[in-house]
Amino acid sequence: MRHQRSIKPYARPIAPVPGTVPVTGAEPLMSLQSADRLANPRTRTSESINHGRFLYETFCLVCHGAAGRGDGPISSVAGGPFFGVRSLVNDTIARRTDGYIYAVIVSGQVMGRGLMPVYGDKVRGADRWDLVNYVRTLQAGAKSPTGRR
Ligand code: HEC
């Protein structure tokens, strides 16, 4: 029992058979350089931000917290078991490109953010950019004097 191979949530224990073709479209692996060049195709309309908020509350809040401070219920910052969660509302991340945030959502593993699970298989297409837009809203809220600090 103690020494068995345990499979982490979202891990893929069995490699796909050689020659397997993805049915939902293959994605090129991103690097920091290619991520930074991505242009956000979604205008920051309230529709986009509201949808981003729904996605954020579904997938991200547990770790990053309602205001993006890294203090979600399962984060060690709030006494939970998940270590290493970062704030999304500090100046460093605010200066990152939209493409960087997008790429971390697709795969933190590839982006050198190995502690964060992969979300590219759960959040797809324009939904990812709506999430980026909502993260920007959280950052703006954290900066404004009347905002949540
Ligand atoms: C299970 C906990 C968890 C969830 C859920 C989660 N993250 Fe993360 N996130 C992390 C951890 C841990 C890190 C730090 C990764 C590292 O440095 O290896 C991180 C890092 C990040 C970063 C990079 C921050 C930086 O300083 O470079 C961004 C952006 C981010 N997360 C966005 C999101 C978004 C958007 C979602 C929802 C799709 C999400 N995260 C869901 C745990 C989580």
pLDDT over 90, % of the chain? 68
* Cα 78 off chain centre by: 19
Q: Residue 82: beta bridge partners?
A: 75
Nearest CA to ligand 1 atom 2: 63
Q: Ligand 1 pocket test: pick from 36, 59, 86 the residue with the most ligand atoms within 8 Å of its Cβ.
A: 86
Residue 146 has pLDDT above 70, yes or no: no
Is 3.40.50.970 the CATH number for 42-142? Answer: no
Per-domain residue ranges of the chain: 42-142
The overall average pLDDT reported for the chain is 90
Per-residue model confidence as pLDDT tens digits over 77-119? 999 999 999 999 999 999 999 999 999 999 998 888 999 999 9
In contact, 69 and 61? CB cutoff 8 Å: no
